[in-house]
Structure 1
Amino acid sequence: MSQHIWRKSSRCQEGDACVHISVTGETILLSDSATPDPSSILSVGRDTFTDLIRILKADG
Protein backbone atom coordinates (compact mmCIF):
# COMPACT_ATOMS: atom_id res chain seq x y z
CA MET A 1 0.00 0.00 0.00
CA SER A 2 2.79 2.48 0.79
CA GLN A 3 5.77 2.96 3.06
CA HIS A 4 3.46 2.92 6.09
CA ILE A 5 3.28 -0.13 8.35
CA TRP A 6 -0.22 -1.53 7.88
CA ARG A 7 -2.00 -3.90 10.26
CA LYS A 8 -5.02 -5.99 9.36
CA SER A 9 -8.14 -6.09 11.52
CA SER A 10 -8.14 -8.99 13.98
CA ARG A 11 -11.71 -9.77 12.85
CA CYS A 12 -10.63 -10.36 9.26
CA GLN A 13 -10.94 -13.91 7.99
CA GLU A 14 -8.59 -15.25 5.34
CA GLY A 15 -9.78 -14.12 1.91
CA ASP A 16 -12.26 -11.57 3.24
CA ALA A 17 -12.16 -7.88 2.43
CA CYS A 18 -10.43 -6.38 5.45
CA VAL A 19 -9.85 -3.06 7.11
CA HIS A 20 -6.18 -2.09 7.43
CA ILE A 21 -4.83 0.55 9.81
CA SER A 22 -1.59 2.49 9.97
CA VAL A 23 -0.65 4.88 12.78
CA THR A 24 1.54 7.83 11.83
CA GLY A 25 2.00 10.20 14.75
CA GLU A 26 -1.35 11.81 15.52
CA THR A 27 -2.91 10.52 12.30
CA ILE A 28 -4.68 7.20 11.76
CA LEU A 29 -4.87 5.87 8.20
CA LEU A 30 -7.62 3.40 7.23
CA SER A 31 -7.79 1.34 4.08
CA ASP A 32 -10.02 -1.41 2.72
CA SER A 33 -8.19 -4.35 1.16
CA ALA A 34 -10.89 -4.52 -1.52
CA THR A 35 -9.74 -1.08 -2.76
CA PRO A 36 -6.03 -0.76 -1.89
CA ASP A 37 -5.55 2.28 -4.14
CA PRO A 38 -3.79 5.12 -2.23
CA SER A 39 -6.59 7.52 -3.23
CA SER A 40 -9.04 5.44 -1.15
CA ILE A 41 -7.14 5.85 2.15
CA LEU A 42 -9.09 7.62 4.89
CA SER A 43 -7.03 9.84 7.21
CA VAL A 44 -8.40 10.83 10.64
CA GLY A 45 -7.00 12.22 13.88
CA ARG A 46 -6.56 10.02 16.95
CA ASP A 47 -9.51 11.61 18.78
CA THR A 48 -11.82 11.05 15.81
CA PHE A 49 -10.66 7.44 15.48
CA THR A 50 -11.21 6.85 19.20
CA ASP A 51 -14.74 8.27 18.88
CA LEU A 52 -15.41 6.03 15.86
CA ILE A 53 -14.31 2.89 17.73
CA ARG A 54 -16.39 3.83 20.77
CA ILE A 55 -19.50 4.33 18.61
CA LEU A 56 -18.95 1.07 16.72
CA LYS A 57 -18.54 -0.88 19.96
CA ALA A 58 -21.68 0.71 21.42
CA ASP A 59 -23.71 -0.30 18.33
CA GLY A 60 -22.33 -3.85 18.76
Structure 2
Amino acid sequence: MSLARPWQKSSYCAQGDSCVHVATASSTVKLTESGDPAGVILHARPAAFAALTRALKEQP
Protein backbone atom coordinates (compact mmCIF):
# COMPACT_ATOMS: atom_id res chain seq x y z
CA MET A 1 0.00 0.00 0.00
CA SER A 2 1.42 3.40 -0.94
CA LEU A 3 0.79 6.47 1.15
CA ALA A 4 -0.43 9.68 -0.44
CA ARG A 5 1.73 12.75 -0.18
CA PRO A 6 0.30 15.78 1.65
CA TRP A 7 -2.26 17.87 -0.20
CA GLN A 8 -0.87 20.69 -2.34
CA LYS A 9 -2.94 23.77 -3.14
CA SER A 10 -3.10 25.00 -6.72
CA SER A 11 -0.62 27.78 -7.46
CA TYR A 12 -3.43 29.66 -9.25
CA CYS A 13 -5.54 29.82 -6.09
CA ALA A 14 -6.02 33.16 -4.40
CA GLN A 15 -7.08 33.52 -0.79
CA GLY A 16 -10.37 31.80 -0.01
CA ASP A 17 -12.14 28.46 -0.07
CA SER A 18 -12.40 27.79 -3.79
CA CYS A 19 -9.12 26.03 -4.44
CA VAL A 20 -8.18 22.71 -5.97
CA HIS A 21 -5.92 20.50 -3.86
CA VAL A 22 -3.89 17.63 -5.31
CA ALA A 23 -2.16 14.68 -3.66
CA THR A 24 -0.22 11.93 -5.38
CA ALA A 25 0.44 8.29 -4.65
CA SER A 26 2.34 5.78 -6.77
CA SER A 27 -0.57 5.01 -9.11
CA THR A 28 -3.19 7.67 -8.35
CA VAL A 29 -3.61 11.43 -8.40
CA LYS A 30 -6.28 12.64 -5.98
CA LEU A 31 -8.13 15.96 -6.31
CA THR A 32 -10.44 17.73 -3.90
CA GLU A 33 -11.87 21.21 -3.41
CA SER A 34 -10.84 23.20 -0.34
CA GLY A 35 -14.37 24.43 0.38
CA ASP A 36 -15.37 20.84 1.22
CA PRO A 37 -12.17 18.87 1.90
CA ALA A 38 -14.08 15.91 3.35
CA GLY A 39 -16.37 15.82 0.32
CA VAL A 40 -15.91 14.13 -3.03
CA ILE A 41 -12.34 13.28 -3.93
CA LEU A 42 -11.63 12.51 -7.56
CA HIS A 43 -9.07 9.85 -8.42
CA ALA A 44 -7.20 9.72 -11.72
CA ARG A 45 -4.30 7.79 -13.15
CA PRO A 46 -1.19 9.96 -13.61
CA ALA A 47 -1.42 9.79 -17.44
CA ALA A 48 -5.06 10.92 -17.40
CA PHE A 49 -4.26 13.77 -15.02
CA ALA A 50 -1.36 14.86 -17.25
CA ALA A 51 -3.68 14.85 -20.28
CA LEU A 52 -6.20 16.96 -18.35
CA THR A 53 -3.61 19.55 -17.33
CA ARG A 54 -2.25 19.72 -20.90
CA ALA A 55 -5.76 20.29 -22.26
CA LEU A 56 -6.45 23.00 -19.68
CA LYS A 57 -3.20 24.79 -20.51
CA GLU A 58 -4.13 24.82 -24.19
CA GLN A 59 -7.39 26.69 -23.51
CA PRO A 60 -7.33 30.39 -24.49
Q: Report the TM-score, using the length of structure 2 for normalisation.
A: 0.84
Give distance in 2, aligned partners of 1:50 and 1:34. 24
Structure 2: unaligned runs, 5 residues or longer: none
> 2:50 maps to which residue?
50
Q: Which has the higher strand share?
A: 1
**TM alignment of 1:1-60, pairs within 5 A:** 4-37=5-38, 39-60=39-60
Structure 1: unaligned runs, 5 residues or longer: none
- Identity among equivalent positions (%) equals 37
SS of 2:31's equivalent in the other structure is: strand
Q: Which has the higher helix share?
A: 1
Q: CA RMSD in A?
A: 1.6
Greater than 3 Å deviation, 4+ residue runs:
none
State the shift of 1:35 in Å: 1.7
| Aligned residue identity for 2:16 | G
Q: Report the TM-score, using the length of structure 1 for normalisation.
A: 0.84
The number of residues matched between the two structures is 57
